[in-house]
A and B are shown apart, each in its own frame.
Chain A
Amino acid sequence: MTGILGALSDAWAEIRVHKLRVLLSLIGIAVSVAALTGVVALSEYQRQFQAEQSDRWGGRAATLVVGISTADGLPVDVDAFDERFTRVSERFGFSHTARIAQGMVVPVQLPDGIVDVNARLIDPLYSQIHREQLLEGRWLRDADVDALAPPVVITEALWDRIGRVPVAQHPTLTLSGAAGGTYQVVGVVPRQGFGDEELRVDILYDAYRARVDALPEGAWPQYEVWLGQTEVDAVAPVLAMDLRAGLPEGQTVSVSRSDWAAQPGALDAQATFEMVTGGIAAVILALGALSLINIQLVAMRQRVREIGVRRAFGATSGRVFFSVFLESLVATTVAGLVGIAIVVAVLRSEWVVTSLFYGIQDIPPFPMRAAFVGLAASIIVGAVSGFIPALVALRVRVIDAIRF
């Protein structure tokens, strides 16, 4: 007990006395541990960011897409299927379902004339299933169906075309054609990236159907259901079976997952990112360890006399070994903790995370995995870079060191 405490005390005293040397040798370790911790943490954020990005396209994990088609390509009676889906959905007790009809084009009156604009007919919950983000305004609500000028959500590119009038000033959009009329713009979806110039208008499914009897040719709805990942595997086949039961001949119902988690190799990209950046950080860490070993070895040459004096006053070779070993271990652990603390402090800033991952919605808490990886790395580096100088210290011959 006293031996261990004594060795720790010697190690701490050595670090205290040679603050500057220790500090300089440990800057590299602290930086590289910070880099390693940061990479692992950023990888977690990247995972969340990519998941959110994927959610916008395929829905959150797990999203089931239900489609209806006919073998001969004739239009499906969407209202009949709608009724069937609603009934089945109620029986399953789904909390999040949404219809979406894509592939439509509506003529919109813009300052430079009537322009064909892509349109989607959707239910309000679609925004939650797909993590839709808004640049301004609000998303569509159930009650909007009753509005005389049905609310719509438009893309930023389309918003630019109508003069970027603030949503608070109630800009409107005039549609021509079958669903012609005035629509109130209540929200704007931001550009999805550089060069996104898509003109699109999102209309409530029911609001559109209240004005137009049938969906245009080529557009039929899909149904999306957001489920827990644990239950989706059990629910999907039963749901498909229920929907198919008693279906008119020639019609086919498809039930499939569209979310990223169902894609094979969904996590490969993140794993590759983590491996490459982690590999770079590990190389930096190895270089830091190498320089630490170097400095410790040089320091050891200068401390030969001190070690000799300690041995003369009763320090066993084991005690000298552990004191030197612990010096590195204690120092790199402290440096590692400093590095981790810096990363935690930086990444706790929402501004930093949102700047790095533009558009991220749910910032995950700082991943403990990153902190553990950083701490383990600093301890391993300390052990390795302490072991070699400790071996050198062990070989110091007392009589050579003292030279009376």
Chain B
Amino acid sequence: MTLVALADVTKSVRLPDDSELEILRGITLEVSAGDHVSIVGRSGSGKSTLLNILGMLDAPTSGTVAFEGREVRRMRSGRLDRLRGDNVGFVFQQFNLLPGRTALDNVMMPLGHARGRLFWNRRQIAADMLERVGLGHRIEQIADRLSGGEQQRVAIARALVRRPVLILADEPTGALDIDTGATVMSLLDEVATETDAALVTITHDLHVAARARRHYRLDAGVLETADLSRAFEASTLAASVPSALAPSVPATRREAAS
């Protein structure tokens, strides 16, 4: 079943000098339940704008966005907010945890916008989710004081606590070291698979991208299927390492994808 469908989506903005900047051009993409999609691209290629549109935070200039078959453009703001809260979970590169709040408060936050059982049992549900990501012993810790890996795990718990059908992760390992990043991605994969949620990951890291089943590359606003093996070969660091180690992992996760 198609969760979110983008059809011929373009996005352009007007610059101060009155000229038009085209960020996305003719993007068509379908993401279904249980999908795991990665999108790689250079900085400024429009990845974040695409993610905003997928997450219904932003509207396209032209083309259509449909969520579970319903066109988003026709929805009123409040309904769209609720639809997003019910169905979409976000994981940000800089975690974006609420400052001064405990890990539990952060994970409870999305449940505070829910209704019924989710709202009334939010404390227990949030605590269980933190337990699930291995932070059951740190629920009362102020989130800012956790390590980077722990903060991202809190962010993942927050993204998943309402059991969204679509998880959007923007550089989820961008602020983490390689080992911690790998652990966090494993966790994200695992929980997404467990809940049959679709996971769309935007990343610079080819190894993070490689975890997905479908790979895309965004270049100058145009989305096309990516061949990651060629991308690995074209990697500048891959060329500089000894031939015996060439197929192995590049030393940095900030590797350019193109």
Residues of chain A whose beta carbon lies under 8 Å from any beta carbon of chain B: 2, 5-6, 9-10, 13, 17-18, 305-306, 309-319, 398-399, 402-404
Contact = CB atoms under 8 A, between A and B. Distances in A.
Given A306-B99, A309-B98, A315 B85 contact: yes
A402 B93 CA distance: 10
Contacts of A402: 57, 90, 92, 96
B115 interface: yes
Nearest to A308: B96
Interface string B128-141: 00000000000000
A338 B90 CA distance: 41
Contact of A399 (B52, B86, B92): B52
Nearest to A10: B112
Nearest to B120: A2
Contacts of A306: 98-99
A151 B258 CA distance: 115
Contacts of A6: 112-113, 119
Contacts, number: 79
B6 interface: no
B55 interface: yes
Nearest to A306: B98
Given A10-B112, A17-B101, A314-B113, 8 more contacts: A17-B100, A18-B100, A306-B99, A311-B57, A313-B110, A314-B84, A319-B113, A404-B170
A314 B92 contact: no
B84 A404 contact: no
Interface string B95-123: 01011110001000110111110011000
Nearest to A319: B113
Interface size of B as a range: 35 or more
A316 B92 contact: no
A228 to B, nearest CB: 59
Given A6-B113, A6-B119, A398-B57, A313 B90 contact: yes
Contacts of B115: 2
A306 B95 CA distance: 11
A311 B81 contact: yes
19 contacts: A2-B115, A2-B116, A306-B99, A310-B113, A311-B57, A311-B81, A312-B84, A313-B84, A313-B89, A313-B90, A313-B113, A314-B82, A314-B162, A315-B81, A399-B57, A402-B90, A402-B92, A404-B47, A404-B92
B92 A315 contact: no
A310 B92 contact: no
B78 interface: yes
B240 interface: no
A404 B110 contact: no
Interface string B20-37: 000000000000000000
B72 to A, nearest CB: 14
B233 interface: no
Contacts of B204: none
Contacts of A315: 81, 85, 113
Contact of B86 (A5, A10, A314, A317): A314
B110 A13 contact: no
Contacts of B101: 13, 17
Contact of B51 (A309, A318, A404): A404
A371 to B, nearest CB: 34
A9 B111 CA distance: 12
Contacts of A318: 78
B158 interface: yes
Contact of B90 (A2, A10, A312, A403): A312
A314 B110 CA distance: 7
A2 B117 CA distance: 10
Nearest to B170: A404
